[in-house]
Amino acid sequence: MSAIPQADIERAIRTTAATVLRNEHYFSDLDGLAGDGDFGTSLATGFRVIDNEWGEIDKSNIGAMLLKISMLVSKHVGGSSGPIWGTGFMKAAMLTRGKEEISLDELAEMLGAAIEGIQARGGAKLGDKTLLDALIPVHETLKGHCAAGDKAAALKDCAGVAEQAIDETRTLVAHRGRASQVGERSANTPDPGIVSIAVILNDWCKEFGIANTPTVAEVVNQPA
C-alpha cells in the first residue's frame, strides 16, 4: 500500500518537532560556524509552540492541519527561517485541502510545491548552499519511487540523499542567508539547513521502523 494516512503525517510532524527541540543547540552551533548562530534556537522556538499547542491544532484534514502548522511556523520561528519553512508547509497545505490520506505521488507534488514556494520566497536556487540543496534531490528521489510505491524504500533513499547533500555542498560558498555575508569563510562548513533536513529524515526512518545507518558526520554526531 502506498497510501499515507493522516496519522502518519501527524507522527512525522511530531517527530520533526522532537528532532528540532533535541538539536536546538547543535543546529545553532553548526550555524555559528559561518552564519549568525541562531538557526537552532529560531527553529526550536517555533516547533516548541507546535509541540505545546498540538492538542488544539485543527486536525479535521491534512490541509487544515498543515495550514495551521504553517501559520505557527511563520509566526514563531525567528529570522528568515519562519517565512521560508512556513511557506513550505503552506504550499503543502494547499494541495491537501480536505484530504485525510495522500498517495506517494501526492507527497511528491507537495514537496515540489513547497520547493517552488521556498524558492520564490527566499530567492535561492540549487547550489546556493541552503536547505533547497537537500530538498531538491530528495524530491527527485521521491519522484523516482512513485511508480513502485514502496513508502519505506522511498523514505530510506530520501534520507540517504539528504545526507549526501551535506557532503556535496560542504565546500561550496553560501550565496543566500546570513552565511553569504561572510563569503569564502562559509566554505568547508556544513549548511545547518541541509543538516536539519538530513537529521529529520533520519529520525523519520527511526520513527517508522525503517533500518537506516547514517554515515555523514553531522548526522552521526547529532545529540542522542
If one asks whether residue 75 binds other proteins (CB under 8 A), the answer comes out as yes
Q: How many residues of this chain interact with other proteins, rule: CB under 8 A?
A: 13
Residue 161 Cβ vs other proteins, minimum distance, rounded to whole Å: 28
Q: Which residues have a Cβ under 8 Å from the Cβ of 34 and sit 6 or more positions away?
A: 174, 179, 182, 185, 186, 189
If one asks whether residue 87 binds other proteins (CB under 8 A), the answer comes out as yes
Instruction: Give the residue with the Cβ less far from other proteins, 120 or 148.
Output: 120
If one asks whether residue 97 binds other proteins (CB under 8 A), the answer comes out as yes
If one asks whether residue 67 binds other proteins (CB under 8 A), the answer comes out as yes
Q: Taking each helix axis as running N to C, give the angle between helix 6-22 and helix 39-52, from 0 to 180 degrees, rounded to the nearest 10.
A: 130
Residue 121 Cβ vs other proteins, minimum distance, rounded to whole Å: 7
- Region of 82-90, 129-137, 181-189, 210-218 interacting with other proteins (CB under 8 A): 82-90
Q: Which of 34, 90, 131, 201 binds other proteins (CB under 8 A)?
A: 90
Instruction: Give the residue with the Cβ less far from other proteins, 4 or 71.
Output: 71
Q: Which of 21, 57, 64, 94 binds other proteins (CB under 8 A)?
A: 94
Quote the CA–CA distance of 69 and 64 in Å, as a whole number.
9
Instruction: Give the residue with the Cβ less far from other proteins, 56 or 184.
Output: 56
Q: Which of 74, 169, 189, 202 binds other proteins (CB under 8 A)?
A: 74
Residue 51 Cβ vs other proteins, minimum distance, rounded to whole Å: 18
Instruction: Give the residue with the Cβ less far from other proteins, 40 or 83.
Output: 83
Q: With beta carbons less than 8 A apart as the criterion, state whether 140 and 121 touch.
A: no
Contact map string, positions 105 to 144, toward other proteins, x by CB under 8 A: ----------------x-----------------------
Interface ranges with other proteins (CB under 8 A): 67, 70-72, 74-75, 83, 86-87, 90, 94, 97, 121
